[in-house]
């Protein structure tokens, strides 16, 4: 589990990702978690200020818009509540496939974007 955290932390520091792209798939693939349990467990890690040290480095280089980040956090708060309600109402197989499609679409967009 610590290795998953380290990988997610490095990915978070490098790319601003971690929970959905690193932690959730590893919990499902390596530890046999259901999609719902992996997503819930990933949120445990995100509750603590895990990005604080990474944020400090970006802040020192003047690469942070604090106001916009706080607005995003406010939206994230409500969005996470309602998104989790929707996810928990879905069949685990449907949830897993939806998650996979989401990752492919985001990856494809990023890869082919000019």
User: Model confidence over 43-98: pLDDT tens digits?
Assistant: 888 776 677 888 888 899 999 888 998 898 889 888 889 989 999 999 999 989 99
DSSP annotation string for 74-96: HHHHHHHHHHHHHHHTS-HHHHH
Residue 48: the pLDDT is: 65
Main-chain dihedrals φ then ψ at residue 17, nearest 5 degrees: -125, 175
How many structural domains comprise the chain? 1
Measured CA to CA, the distance from residue 47 to residue 32 in angstroms comes to 23
Range of the domain at 20: 2-112
Mean pLDDT taken over the chain: 87
Cα atoms in the Cβ-side hemisphere of radius 13 Å centred on 38? 23
């Amino acid at each position: 589990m610590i290795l998953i955290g380290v990988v997610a932390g490095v990915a978070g520091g490098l790319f601003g990702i971690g929970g959905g792209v690193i932690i959730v798939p590893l919990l499902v693939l390596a530890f046999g978690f259901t999609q719902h349990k992996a997503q819930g467990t990933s949120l445990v890690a995100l509750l603590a200020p895990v990005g604080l040290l990474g944020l400090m480095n970006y802040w020192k280089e003047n690469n942070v818009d604090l106001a916009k980040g706080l607005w995003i956090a406010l939206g994230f708060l409500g969005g996470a509540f309602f998104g989790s309600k929707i996810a928990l109402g879905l069949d685990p197989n449907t949830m897993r496939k939806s998650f996979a499609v989401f990752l492919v679409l985001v990856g494809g967009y990023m890869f082919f974007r000019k």
